[in-house]
A and B are shown apart, each in its own frame.
Chain A
């Protein structure tokens, strides 16, 4: 495997970990107004993700940073083409992040309402827009020979793009509901597990439609038919999706969460593998595609970065697992921080 391909897989992996980790934060934020009936419920929900969301969001920064470092041309074309969508995502993430900190500072009903709104909006916007963006990338983006985008925000809101948004939205919602079931007890836990139960068939339908629609809207399957062994990725993802249901029935929320995490990682790789060697295909002309090869940095930079990533990413995963382990218990009314 050449350096560029290794980096392509790492690139996919970083996005997948971001969706897997911050995905449940988004899910909790989306379910927040619906499951959080009382102020105490809502505080428990915030505290359920409070210790971890910061570290989770850094996977996005790292995914972005690695795109910049390893595939500068992709970074340039992708981020400038998706300008408006990314700006909306950034504003949403800013509002979500400060809301957790600000909400508890003043004991006032309206004050809390404002930040409650920001938590919900700040979670639902990136959940949908990341889905819209990635589905459009799978499908191809109207970029010309110079990588200049020939559309606007609404160009992205085509049927396949919207479907992608809904897939991500529902995946993150079920992922968040299961996380809440792990970290809460009593009524709130009951409501979270019912939400997960109700979401599962929706997720199943979304995933199925997406897998079928992708055959017509994209050329993702070309790689799969060329190397049928790759269908294993789809098989594992679907198995994990079914696993969510099996573990939910048994009320084993830890395992259900691992299953939904695997579903999200698998779904990300379903698209990433299908793209290769493209990273940002042009819907105007295949000659304008941004590929692993024309976007990659110099071999020296790729090697330096590979050393950094091979040493530090396992270290990061190590201390994040330690942090997760520290906060896997139930959040109770007594130990609320925010």
Chain B
């Protein structure tokens, strides 16, 4: 393998690992803030136990999220130095702003929250968690503005052999980035809702801490349902915009080879990239792709064959990732709606609880698929239409990248195992209730 491929694998490994932990912190921070606020306003000890129980799980995730985040920033310089030199004028400033306006606040306050129970008033302590949640969200805005710019660069000019900013407002108001932000954050909320529901279901199945986990489940349910519906509706808008600005990605998502009007969607297909066709197509719905892309069943959708072969993204991965994401998204809506129906007799429905327990990993999978679609679907470009990934890599020795990639796989593999073990252990142990037992 060459430096480009190894660096891509390393970036993928580091990013995907980072994003196993960050989405939960984005959503759970708000839920913990809500629980702590309930404690402050009602004075009920149960809400304090909730804050501490879910807060502990939040902190394990936060610890991994924060330490793996540094790697992502630094990798642009270590592995993608040509990209950094070319794009730093715009891309670098977005990362620097993120650290200055958001990450500082989040990281400083997390220490205050963890160690400050006795040092702050109850009210101030709850406010700290709200600020952590808001800072995390602000952080996501800047990071996704940066990624959105790689997807759909705006407000720049090529000057002095690099991309220089000419219209910073355009960079900030990039429609692609805004859609991506809402999609990513809503996806994170789905994950957080399912996490809370799944762990609550575990305890309800065992008939322990029933009041505690029924309340927790309902909080997760409201959050998860709202986010599941939002992410689907918003995803549709995002899809239309992708059709407009990244037509090659759309064609790859659907394994759509020939330019046609009334373009179909295949529920299942096996793309054959060598021969530029699909080996099997099952369940084709005519006009659906035209409808999704343009909200018009007769619209013409450009096929992959009409893109130069070296400007097409890998079809199979993109196709599978998109399908998995959409199927899971549909499932999330249906299963949370079922939850609304069963909400007052959860304990009498062990089957539903079991389904929810085993659904915990599914939003993780959906989110990873979403990122694979966004990033692999953008290939061969690192910045769409301006710079190819193969031109962006650092002029460094293959052996260096091979060693660091192995290092990442080993360290992250061990860390991931320990982290999920600790999350499971703490989740199973259940809350410490002061007011009863």
The answer, among B78, B103, B166, for a CB contact under 8 Å with A80, is: B78
- Contact between B98 and A76, CB atoms less than 8 A apart: no
Which bucket holds chain A's interface residue count? Answer: 35 or more
- Contact between B407 and A87, CB atoms less than 8 A apart: yes
Give the docked Cα–Cα distance between A179 and B342 (Å). 56
Residues of the A chain whose Cβ atoms lie less than 8 Å from the Cβ of B116: 51, 326
Instruction: Tell me, yes or no, whether A216 is within 8 Å of chain B by CB.
Output: no
How would residues 56 to 84 of chain A score, 1 for a CB under 8 Å from any chain B CB and 0 otherwise?
A: 01101110111111111101111110011
Query: Can you show 29 pairs from A to B with CB atoms below 8 A apart?
Result: A51-B112, A54-B110, A55-B108, A58-B103, A64-B73, A64-B74, A65-B100, A75-B85, A76-B81, A76-B88, A76-B394, A78-B77, A79-B76, A84-B403, A86-B78, A87-B78, A90-B74, A91-B407, A94-B67, A94-B415, A98-B415, A102-B422, A301-B89, A301-B165, A305-B96, A308-B100, A316-B104, A319-B109, A335-B118
- Contact between B396 and A80, CB atoms less than 8 A apart: yes
How close is B399's CB to chain A, nearest CB, in angstroms? 9
Given A64-B73, A76-B85 in contact, is the A316-B63 Cβ separation under 8 Å?
A: no
How would residues 74 to 110 of chain B score, 1 for a CB under 8 Å from any chain A CB and 0 otherwise?
A: 1011110110111111111101111111011101111
The answer, among A69, A83, A97, A301, for a CB contact under 8 Å with B394, is: A83
The answer, among B73, B97, B164, B403, for a CB contact under 8 Å with A298, is: B164
- Contact between A305 and B63, CB atoms less than 8 A apart: no
How close is B220's CB to chain A, nearest CB, in angstroms? 24
Instruction: Tell me, yes or no, whether B68 is within 8 Å of chain A by CB.
Output: yes
- Contact between A79 and B81, CB atoms less than 8 A apart: yes
B412: nearest residue on chain A (CB-CB)?
Answer: A94
How close is B343's CB to chain A, nearest CB, in angstroms? 33
Residues of the B chain whose Cβ atoms lie less than 8 Å from the Cβ of A319: 105, 108-109
The secondary structure that dominates the A interface is helix
Residues of the A chain whose Cβ atoms lie less than 8 Å from the Cβ of B66: 54, 57, 97
- Contact between A75 and B84, CB atoms less than 8 A apart: yes
Q: Which of B181-200 contact A (CB under 8 A)?
A: none
Residues of the B chain whose Cβ atoms lie less than 8 Å from the Cβ of A288: none
Residues of the A chain whose Cβ atoms lie less than 8 Å from the Cβ of B435: none
Instruction: Tell me, yes or no, whether A320 is within 8 Å of chain B by CB.
Output: yes
Instruction: Tell me, yes or no, whether A109 is within 8 Å of chain B by CB.
Output: no
The secondary structure that dominates the B interface is helix
How close is B194's CB to chain A, nearest CB, in angstroms? 23
B85: nearest residue on chain A (CB-CB)?
Answer: A76
Give the docked Cα–Cα distance between A182 and B188 (Å). 41
Residues of the A chain whose Cβ atoms lie less than 8 Å from the Cβ of B166: 300
- Contact between B59 and A54, CB atoms less than 8 A apart: no
Top 7 closest pairs, chain A to chain B, by CB = A72-B88, A79-B77, A68-B92, A65-B96, A55-B108, A76-B81, A51-B111
How would residues 118 to 154 of chain A score, 1 for a CB under 8 Å from any chain B CB and 0 otherwise?
A: 0000000000000000000000000000111100100
- Contact between B395 and A148, CB atoms less than 8 A apart: yes
- Contact between B84 and A68, CB atoms less than 8 A apart: yes
B164: nearest residue on chain A (CB-CB)?
Answer: A298
Instruction: Tell me, yes or no, whether B411 is within 8 Å of chain A by CB.
Output: yes
Instruction: Tell me, yes or no, whether A312 is within 8 Å of chain B by CB.
Output: yes
- Contact between B112 and A326, CB atoms less than 8 A apart: yes
- Contact between A79 and B74, CB atoms less than 8 A apart: yes
Residues of the A chain whose Cβ atoms lie less than 8 Å from the Cβ of B160: 298
- Contact between A90 and B92, CB atoms less than 8 A apart: no
